[in-house]
């Protein structure tokens, strides 16, 4: 038996919950998830209704301010964001300092962190006007930073934002366009990306959002807190799953001769710890409501872009086989949102390294909404978990010559 009071250094009730699987660290009015019923709602609105009818900026407004915007509110929000898409020329020079093959996620988090140095009016988290301005600056500039991180990785020149375009169109142009050449925008692609951003926009207390809240609980400003969230998302167990799915599908195509059955058997026999990437979820034990929407998107967008990708066929066969297999059914393993996103991003022309950046663009309004909700919450306290101490009992110092 363990005397927990000794491990804690004090008596009293403390929960020990690695991974916080059953600890609610805050109350929140932003996102509702019922994992058993496969329900996801932002501010009460079902995710499929928002994905089917709304736009990313509309959903961002909803998450951040709590209500769907009126036409005027949306126009004003969009307009304010479009006036902040430019990066300061000195911030642009940061990109010169990163190695050419730098992963775009740490480039993104570094540049977001640096925004605190360019906008020192952002430092007081309780200055409402400053928070409003930081919100708009982030919503605008993160898209430009993401496009420049891509351009840097392929050694191409940066494009200035064109504010006659929507935020997502502008991002696509800055990512895939060239300075002297007109970029032919594909509206279907812009629409599909917009929808994917909506699907990723919030997911309550996931690792990166909890990180944003924890850092912000020390009264760190919005840029510092969001930069920490980007770093949390960088981890392969969080934002990196869409990349892992694509690698798995490629492996099935190249190393298993496209034989889905044999791969599924390897997973079931737990050979080399193989898992079906893009399957299973900590919270959804029925189905992930986002996965259905992404699957439809994948079929539609690949058809519209005229892309015939054998990886999509492999993904669909894999899903079909898994859903009909007792191993996966008994364990309540269903495709999650990331199962099809990689295939879509690939069809759009994004390299694998950019997949997690696209996730970050989507999650941005959720992070901002949670930070702001926390700052307005009178119950907010600095995050400070306890631990169970498992080190040595008290012992006396031994001088260096006796060791």
Residues lying near ligand ACO in the complex (CB under 6 A) are found at 238, 241, 267, 275-282, 331, 333, 336-338
Alpha carbon distance 331, 65 (integer Å)? 38
Give the single-character DSSP code of 181. Answer: B
Give the residue with the Cβ less far from ligand ACO, 277 or 301: 277
Alpha carbon of 160 to those of 83, 153, 306, 332: distances in Å?
Answer: 12, 17, 29, 47
Euclidean distance between CA atoms 242 and 362, whole angstroms: 14
| Choice between 238 and 253, CB closer to ligand ACO | 238
| Minimal distance, residue 395 CB to ligand ACO, in Å | 38
CB nearer to ligand ACO: give 141 or 203.
203
Please state the closest distance from residue 277 (CB atom) to ligand ACO, in A: 5
Measured from the CB atom, is 152 or 346 closer to ligand ACO?
A: 346
Kind and range of the H or E run holding 363: helix 355-375
Give whichever of 303 and 331 is closer to ligand ACO, judged by the CB atom.
331
Looking at beta carbons only, is 241 or 357 nearer to ligand ACO?
241
Catalytic residue status for 203: no
Catalytic residue among 194, 281, 288, 370: 281
Task: Read off φ and ψ for residue 186, nearest 5 degrees.
Answer: -100, 110
Place of tokens 């059955």: 261
Catalytic residue among 186, 194, 202, 338: 338
Q: From the CB of 200, what's the least distance to ligand ACO, in Å? A: 8
Cβ atoms of 319 and 339 closer than 8 Å = yes
Distance CA 110, CA 231 (A): 9
Tokens 């430019």, located at residue:
86
- Between CA 123 and CA 228 the distance in angstroms is 16
CB of 315 to ligand ACO, least distance (A): 13
Beta bridge partners of 31: 42
Closest Cα to residue 223, out of 107, 147, 134? 134
**Shortest distance in whole angstroms from residue 246 CB to ligand ACO:** 12
**In terms of DSSP H, where are the helices of 155-309?**
167-176, 187-199, 207-216, 222-234, 241-255, 260-268, 289-304
- In the 8-state DSSP scheme, what is residue 10? S
Smallest separation, CB 371 to ligand ACO (Å) = 20
Which residue is closest to ligand ACO by CB?
280
Q: Is 288 a catalytic residue?
A: no
Which residues does the annotation mark as catalytic? Answer: 281, 338
């Amino acid at each position: 038996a363990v005397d927990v009071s000794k491990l804690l250094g004090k008596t009293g009730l403390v929960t020990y919950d690695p991974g916080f699987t059953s600890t609610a660290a805050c109350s929140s009015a932003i996102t509702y998830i019922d994992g058993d019923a496969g329900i996801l709602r932002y501010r009460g609105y079902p995710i499929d209704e928002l994905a089917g009818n709304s736009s990313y900026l509309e959903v961002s407004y909803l998450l951040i301010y709590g209500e769907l915007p009126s036409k005027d509110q949306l126009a004003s929000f969009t307009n304010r964001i479009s006036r902040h898409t430019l990066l300061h020329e000195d911030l642009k020079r940061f990109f010169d300092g990163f190695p050419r093959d730098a992963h775009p996620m740490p480039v993104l988090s570094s540049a977001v962190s640096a925004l605190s140095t360019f906008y020192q009016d952002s430092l007081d988290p309780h200055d409402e006007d400053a928070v409003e301005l930081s919100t708009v600056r982030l919503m605008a500039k993160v898209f430009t930073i993401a496009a420049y991180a891509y351009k840097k990785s392929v050694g191409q020149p940066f494009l200035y934002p064109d504010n006659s375009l929507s935020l997502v169109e502008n991002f696509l142009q800055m990512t895939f366009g060239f300075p002297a050449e007109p970029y032919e925008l594909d509206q279907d692609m812009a629409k599909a990306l917009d929808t994917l951003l909506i699907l990723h926009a919030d997911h309550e207390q996931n690792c990166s959002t909890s990180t944003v809240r924890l850092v912000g609980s020390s009264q760190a400003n919005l840029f510092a807190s969001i930069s920490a969230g980007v770093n949390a998302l960088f981890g392969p167990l969080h934002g990196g799953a869409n990349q892992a799915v694509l690698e798995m599908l490629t492996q099935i195509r190249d190393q298993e001769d496209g034989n889905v059955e044999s791969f599924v058997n390897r997973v079931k026999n737990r050979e080399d710890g193989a898992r079906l990437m893009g399957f299973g979820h900590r919270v959804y034990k029925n189905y992930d409501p986002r996965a259905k929407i992404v699957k439809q998107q994948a079929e539609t967008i690949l058809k519209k872009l005229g892309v015939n990708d054998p990886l999509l066929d492999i993904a669909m066969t894999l899903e079909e086989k898994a859903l009909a297999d007792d191993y996966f059914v008994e364990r309540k393993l269903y495709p999650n949102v990331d199962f099809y996103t990689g295939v879509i991003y690939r069809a759009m022309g994004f390299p694998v390294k950019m997949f997690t950046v696209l996730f970050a663009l989507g999650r941005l309004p959720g992070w901002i909404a949670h930070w702001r909700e926390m700052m307005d919450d009178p119950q907010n306290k600095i995050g400070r978990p306890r631990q169970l101490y498992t080190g040595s009992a008290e012992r006396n110092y031994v001088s260096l010559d006796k060791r």
